[in-house]
Structure 1
Amino acid sequence: MDGERVAFIVAGVQKGGTTALFDYLGEESDLAPSRVKEVHFFDDEAVNWAAPDYGAYHAQFAPFDGRPRGEATPIYLYWPGSLERICAYNSAMKLIVMLRDPVARAWSHWKMEYARRVETEPFAWCIRQGRQRLFDAEPWGVHREVSYVERGFYGEQMARLFDLFPREQVLILRSDELRADPAAGLGAVRRFLGLPDGPSPAPREVHVGAQMDYGGELTAQDIAHLRAVYARDAERLADLTGVRFG
């Protein structure tokens, strides 16, 4: 199986530009991305992780032809156990992490869930009292939909990632930089994967928030609240990676 192993994963973060990056990578003829963007294998709690069926994972890709295979499931960085399972599968995995200002990420995440009618509460409540909902979740303390604040603790998540993988196997990209200069971002990915530079891609926007009435806007009070919530973790992220937001 060694030669067939998936070589790279875009492991985070949700609402951080991972769909745009996956679309760009899908146009690269010397890469072999998964058939769908989000495979959701390593966060699947129904898998028998004592003896996982990697054949089911590989079925999400075209038959191995020598090109690096990769996927993009942005919950992996956040979901407990996912990174450990990736490491057990392929300790040489190369991981790409797209980071976005956690305040903007939380707002975008809430708008997505509100537009889908998964969420019915206002953003201000969700990032304050609404965080208590995660203590009623299973697994305890995490949630796939309403984790608006929790997914933004990048310092904690990157620390866990660096405990498992050497830093030379991790590439961090900022979503604003990919949006502003996709050629530079894609070039960094190609070099990270050991490929020569390719043609410059055309800029694109994907998964832009639905045009609808969200019942309010992101307020200065909400921003200040989240900056305070993230302050200590933001310093941890800066110490680990040099990346700062806000």
Structure 2
Amino acid sequence: MTHTSPRPIDFLIIGAAKCATTWEQQSLSASPGIFMPAPELHFFSRVYDKGFDWFNAQFDSSQPGDILGEKSNSYLTQPEAAARIHAAYPDIKMIVQMRDPVHRAYSDYCMLLRRGEVDEDIRRHLDPQKAATERFLNDGRYGHHLKRFFALFPKEQILLLAFEDVATHPDRQLQWVADHVGYTGQLTPPMREKVKDKHANAVPAPLRRILTPLRPLLDPIRNRPPISTLRNLVAKPFTYPALPDDLKQEIETFYQDDKCELSILAPDFLPDWNRPEGARISGGNTS
């Protein structure tokens, strides 16, 4: 790794996966004066050995005076990412958007099932007795993962948001982020459509696997003719297995201790899925 100094940037969206962070990234990037490279770089989590020469170059298309940010959901869950970020950017602002962890786990499973990366044995992938340390369940342990960041960064540098507020108050949600990162320009209205609609027709899994090596070339143009036309011709309706009630309850139980840990770390962060009965609901929170 080279010893190039990190380029100054202003903020990071560090997670969580399947919590509308791509919506957040695309909505912010549409506003003048905010620059974010296309998601996700995964620099501090997966490709740190590429060095800061590579990371810095991802911002070369920005303009002088732009607020610079980056979004990689893996930063929240990769154990070494927090320390790496702190070493490079001890004063950086961070955003964490979270949802009900049970819903997050099921949504994540459905996404990889749609891609053909997992099978339809939902209990194999979501049963805490079998898969507690795997991606689907582990990534929703927000308290466990955030503890690493709160140990290194002042709480006011970390904005906690609830995914559920995106549907009800998208403009307010985006404004909280803008205020947190110091953006004083005019925000472009946030995207209203879903970035990833799981109910849309899907390319059959065998064909997806064949095309996987070509994704770096196809993804940027997937919504343009003729690629979009060809995709629509082969895409078929996709059916997901339901989350059984008993399994849902087991997952709820699995997350109880972590919800307590999150409440201790951030007592004022009170989305519906993580608040005591009768407590008020709060939105953007930095503590």
Q: For 1:172 and 1:102, locate their aligned partners in 2 and report how far apart those are by CA, in whole Å.
A: 15
Q: What displacement does 1:201 show?
A: 2.9
Report Cα offsets for 1:29-56 as digits up to 9, x if no partner. 021111x110111112561xxxx72121
User: SS where residue 86 of structure 1 aligns?
Assistant: helix
Match for residue 232 of structure 1 among 257, 260, 278:
257
1:204 aligns with 2:231: no
Q: 1:64 to 1:82 in 2, by over 3 A?
A: farther
Kept in 1, the 8 Å contact 2:45–2:81? The answer is yes
User: SS where residue 69 of structure 1 aligns?
Assistant: strand
What corresponds to 2:270 in structure 1?
243
What corresponds to 2:102 in structure 1?
103
Q: What displacement does 1:120 show?
A: 1.2
**Structure 1 unmatched ranges of 5 or more:** 135-145
Q: For 2:101 and 2:167, locate their aligned partners in 1 and report how far apart those are by CA, in whole Å.
A: 16
1:155 aligns with 2:143: yes
1:168 aligns with 2:166: no
TM-align CA RMSD: 2.1
Kept in 2, the 8 Å contact 1:96–1:172? The answer is yes
Q: 1:119 to 1:210 in 2, by over 3 A?
A: farther
Report Cα offsets for 1:124-168 as digits up to 9, x if no partner. 221225417x5xxxxxxxxxxx51000111111111110111111
Q: For 1:112 and 1:201, locate their aligned partners in 2 and report how far apart those are by CA, in whole Å.
A: 23
Q: 1:2 to 1:56 in 2, by over 3 A?
A: closer
Q: For 2:6 and 2:84, locate their aligned partners in 1 and report how far apart those are by CA, in whole Å.
A: 18
Percent of aligned positions that are identical? 26
Number of matched residues? 228
User: SS where residue 10 of structure 1 aligns?
Assistant: strand
Kept in 2, the 8 Å contact 1:12–1:98? The answer is yes
TM-score, structure 2 normalization: 0.74
Q: 1:202 to 1:150 in 2, by over 3 A?
A: closer
User: SS where residue 74 of structure 2 aligns?
Assistant: coil
Q: For 1:23 and 1:45, locate their aligned partners in 2 and report how far apart those are by CA, in whole Å.
A: 22
Alignment of 1:70-149 (within 5 A): 70-128=69-127, 129-131=129-131, 146-149=134-137
Letter in 1 for 2:198: G
Match for residue 40 of structure 1 among 37, 42, 67:
42
More helix per residue: 1 or 2?
Answer: 2
Q: For 1:46 and 1:89, locate their aligned partners in 2 and report how far apart those are by CA, in whole Å.
A: 12
Report Cα offsets for 1:155-206 as digits up to 9, x if no partner. 1111111011111111111111022211101110111111236344352311
TM-score, structure 1 normalization: 0.85
Larger radius of gyration: 2
